[in-house]
Amino acid sequence: MEKISIASRFCGPPASANGGYFAGLVATLAPRTVAVRLLQPPPLETELTVTALEDGGIRVLHAEEPIGEARPAALELEAPAPPDYLEAVEASRHYAGFRHHRFPSCFVCGTQRVRGDGLRIFAGPIPELGVVAAPWVPDSSLDAGDGKVRAEFMSAALDCPGYYAVAPDDRMMLLAEFIAHVDRRVHVGESCTLIGWRLGGSGRKLEAGTAIFDGKGELCGRARALWIEPRAATVTELPAQ
């Protein structure tokens, strides 16, 4: 059994982890691509136990309470061609979170997080391309020690643009499942572009795709996410970003 703990820096809502970061951290413990299902809000600054499942999956527990599960999965996702970096910069000026943000302290997309602390990925719409897009220049705190960004931070970066792709009306959505694959880790200080787009779904369940491109426009990572609108509109403690 392994133990993990999620620092408060990596929150989504104030009291729980960013879903993409949690999924990425769990995925680093698996030998292949996995679909990570979030069962409960991942607590912060708390020791969590990681156990292996018979099918090659992983279960994460807080005491005896299941927090998440990861199962081997294949990611089938074709990413659209990205806008160029300056187009992403322009799109980010229209980020919906600048008008209202449910979780402004979110590690990935929170407007209250300063440079060098949060990722500050502010995905705004590009209607003619059918995507939301954001620029991202990873800072040195994300360095894996080789000048490149750690895989779990790339997974985190791939999370929130998906929310803004499926919920432009700012409805409350919970990240239920996340499958990410890192093709190549981007460099610290590199001018990257992130996009998100709606894949389908109906009613309370919607799917989003996200992708990250390096400074040369080459695809470096992809993710597919399932978002669910809670029945109770007042839910605020689960990881919506």
What is the pLDDT, as a whole number, of residue 169?
80
Mean pLDDT of the chain: 93
* Closest C-alpha to 97, from 82, 113, 85, 84: 113
pTM score: 0.93
pLDDT digits (tens, 9 = 90+) for 202-241: 889 999 999 999 999 999 999 999 999 988 654 443 333 3
What is the pLDDT, as a whole number, of residue 81?
94
CB 154 within 8 Å of CB 148: no
Higher-confidence residue of 17 and 171: namely 17
CB 168 within 8 Å of CB 219: no
14-30 as b/e: b if 16+ CB within 10 A: eebbbbbbbbbbbbeeb
Q: Token pair of 166, please?
A: 């499926």
What domains can you pick out in the chain, each with its CATH number? Answer: 2-72 (3.10.129.10), 85-228 (3.10.129.10)
What is the pLDDT, as a whole number, of residue 237?
38
Distance between CA atoms of residues 55 and 68, nearest Å: 15
pLDDT digits (tens, 9 = 90+) for 35-82: 999 999 999 999 999 999 988 899 999 999 999 999 999 999 999 999
| Mean per-residue pLDDT, 184-207 | 95
What is the pLDDT, as a whole number, of residue 8?
98
Q: Which residues contact 219 (CB under 8 A, 6 or more apart)?
A: 79, 183, 211, 212, 213
Portion of the chain with pLDDT greater than 70, in percent? 96
pLDDT digits (tens, 9 = 90+) for 115-143: 999 999 999 999 999 999 999 999 999 99
pLDDT digits (tens, 9 = 90+) for 69-87: 999 999 999 999 999 999 9
